[in-house]
Amino acid sequence: MSVFDNSEYDNHEQVLFCRDAASGLFAIIAIHDTTLGPAAGGCRMWPYATTSDAVYDVLRLSRAMSYKNALAGLPLGGGKAVIIGDPLKEKNAKLLTSFARYVQKLGGQYYAAEDIGIGVEDVEVFAMASNYVFGLTETGDPSPFTALGCFHGIRASVKHKLNRDTLKGLTVAVQGVGKVGLHLCENLHEAGAGLIVADVNSKAVAHVVENYGAKSVAPGEIYSQEADIFSPCAMGGVLNDITIPQLKACIVAGSANNQLAEARHDKMLHDRGILYTPDYVINAGGMLNASGDIFGEYDVNEVMKKISGLYDVTLRIFKTAHQEGRLTSEVADELARQRIAEGKVSKK
C-alpha cells in the first residue's frame, strides 16, 4: 500500500522519507497543511515494528497538529516527524544532526520540537544544524504547560458532564506519569482530586504515590478502575474495542495524542455515556508556550492567558455537540477545518 492509499493520508502536502546510512537515520517528516502558517510539531523517536506503523503514526500526528494549532488560534500549520529507532539505545548526536539537516533543507516549511523519545537537550542539538526548531530552553520545558491545558480541559469536562465547578472529591485514573502526566497529577492533587496511576516506569509511579497520595495499579488494570475520569497521558490508540468496555469513568480527558484507535471509537464512548474530550484541543498548552521560539517573542503571562482559554474552547465544543446531537470529535474536527478553510479564503 502506498502512502497515498493510507487511511490517514488526508491530503497531506508533503511526506518526506529521510535516510542517512552513515548516522543510521531513518525518519519521516509529514507536513499536513500550511494554510495558516509553517507546519510545526514535535519529532518523536520510537522503535516502530514496521515502516507502515511509523507512516500511520506520523500522518495521524501531523493532521492532529494542524487541528491543534488552528483551534489554539496560532498562525501555524501542522506537521510532525518520527525517527525510527530506540531512543535509549540508538539516539546520538550524529543521528540527531542528520535529522536536523533534513529539516533545514525544507527551508522553514516545517519546524521541529521535542516529543516522545526526544527531549529539550536533543532539540538543542537540532538547533546547531537547523534554524527551524522550537521549544528550546528560552521558553522552557513544555510539559507543565501541556499539563495545565489538560487540567483546564478536565475542568471543562467536569463542568459539562457533572455540572461541577470543582474537582474536589473526584477520582482520576491517569495512564502514564511521564513529564506531562506527572505535572498533571500535581495539578489534580492540588485541586483535591484523588489519583489512581499506572506506568511502565516504576520509579515514576512511586514518586506520584509518595508525593500525591496516589494509588498505583498495573498498566493493564488502569482502564477498569473505579474513577470519575480516565486520563490517557502516554501513547495513542489506547481507546479501542478492548479497552472501552472496561472503562467505569464517565469522562475521558488526557494529554496523549490520538487516543482513539479509530474515529468510530468516539461513537462507542458516546453510546456508553462517556464524554470524550478531544485530545488535540486540551493538549495545546505546550504548543502555545513553545511557539514563542518561532515568532521571536515570548510573554509567559500571555501564554498562561491563552492556556486558560482552552477551558472555554472545550466547553463550546461540548455545548455544540450536545445541542446538535453530534460527537465531540466531529465538532472539534469541523471547527478546525473551518478555520483552515477561512485561512485559505483570506489568502486569495
Active site residue ranges: 80
Q: Are 175 and 138 in contact (CB under 8 A)?
A: no
State whether the Cα torsion 71-74-77-79 is positive or negative: negative
275-276 and 14-20 strand pairing: unpaired
Q: How far is CA 298 from the centre of its chain?
A: 22
Rg of the chain (C-alpha set): 19
Q: Are 106 and 132 in contact (CB under 8 A)?
A: yes
Distances 237 to 53, 246, 266 between C-alpha atoms, Å: 12, 15, 12
Please report, in angstroms and rounded to a whole number, the separation of the first and last CA atoms in the chain.
35
Amino acid letter, residue 27: A
Helices and strands in the chain: count of H runs, count of E runs: 13, 11
Picking from 159, 167, 164, 201, the residue whose alpha carbon sits closest to that of residue 184 is 167
Strand extents, DSSP E, 38-98: 39-46, 77-84
Q: Are 254 and 233 in contact (CB under 8 A)?
A: yes
511502565: which residue's cell?
Answer: 200
Query: Which of helix, strand or coil describes residue 81?
Result: strand
Q: CA-to-CA distance for 99 and 93, rounded, in angstroms?
A: 10
